[in-house]
Structure formats: structure tokens, C-alpha cells
Amino acid sequence: MKILKIDHLGIAVSSIDEKKDFWTDVLGLELQGTETVEAQKVTTAFLPVGESEVELLESTSDDGPVAKYIEKRGEGVQHVAFRVENIEEALEELKAKGIPLIDQEPRIGAGGAKIAFLHPKATSGVLVELCERSS
Ligand code: ZN
């Protein structure tokens, strides 16, 4: 598989509104809008950092994956996303190597990207997302 770069870091927060000021006012990043992905019960806010982005994640529901993450481990880095050239090929390669996956097939995430998560038991506890975007 070909990994192009770290696409973004997904950071779980209790509230984008209440927590964004550190990222915008202190670090000087620009919040480029928010998007709710109902299928994943999450609202995301993207803040570009050079070639990558910080993605703040706020749960839209108490039983969403981000809410559960915060409940267990508190706010913090929830996943690391690598941009790949071809996500279908990457998933086939991982399956052939016996790597456990959360998503067997790509699904559509924020910004229309094709995304898939690997199971953290394969990655030293780090939730790894693969994503493929056209731009
Ligand atoms: Zn992500």
C-alpha cells in the first residue's frame, strides 16, 4: 500500500464550541467549518496544519463512538488517519496479512473521503484510520 501522509489527527472533545479556542486563539489554526456525520454520531471540525489537519470530534449522542471514548479514556487523541493512494487496495493488502479491521469495506466520512478503521488490537492500541480523498 502507498501511504501519502498523515492526513489528520482525530481529537475527541466534549464540545467543539467550548474547546476550540485553544486550537484557534492560542495555536492560531483556522477552523474551516464543521460537519455532522450522522452515521458515525459525530460532528467534526477541521483545522488545517500545513499538509495535515487537526480534526476535533464531538459526539452527537451519548452512545456514539466518540462519547464512549471520552467516557473510558477522557478527551484526547482518538485516532490517527493516514492518507492512502488507493483504499480498496490497502484494505485487501491488510486482509491478506491477517490484520483485523473494523471496516471491511470503505465508508464515506467527513468531507466525502473514503475511510476505513483498523482494529486497535493490531496497532499497539492506536486507532488507525485510512482515508482516500480526491484532493
Ligand atoms: Zn478521522
Give pLDDT tens digits for 44-102: 999 999 999 999 999 999 999 999 999 999 999 999 999 999 999 999 999 999 999 99
Kindly give the distance from the C-alpha atom of residue 103 to the centroid of ligand 1, in angstroms, as a whole number: 13
Q: Single out the residue of 22, 104, 120 nearest to residue 65, CA to CA.
A: 120
Kindly give the distance from the C-alpha atom of residue 97 to the centroid of ligand 1, in angstroms, as a whole number: 23
Helix (H, G, I), strand (E, B) or coil at 94: helix
Grade residue 39 by pLDDT with cuts at 50, 70 and 90. confident
Kindly give the distance from the C-alpha atom of residue 127 to the centroid of ligand 1, in angstroms, as a whole number: 10
SS3 content of the chain, % helix, strand, coil (to 5): 30, 40, 35
Q: Model's pTM, two decimal places?
A: 0.92
Kindly give the distance from the C-alpha atom of residue 82 to the centroid of ligand 1, in angstroms, as a whole number: 9
Mean of pLDDT values over 5-34: 97
Helix (H, G, I), strand (E, B) or coil at 86: coil
pLDDT reported for residue 111: 84
Grade residue 26 by pLDDT with cuts at 50, 70 and 90. very high
Q: Which CATH superfamily is domain 3-132 in?
A: 2,3-Dihydroxybiphenyl 1,2-Dioxygenase, domain 1 (3.10.180.10)
Question: What residues are paired with 124 via a beta bridge?
Answer: none
Domain chopping of the chain, boundaries: 3-132
Burial 100-125 (b: 16+ CB within 10 A, else e): ebeeeebeebbbebbbbbbeeeeeee
CB 126, CB 77: distance < 8 Å = no
Kindly give the distance from the C-alpha atom of residue 16 to the centroid of ligand 1, in angstroms, as a whole number: 15
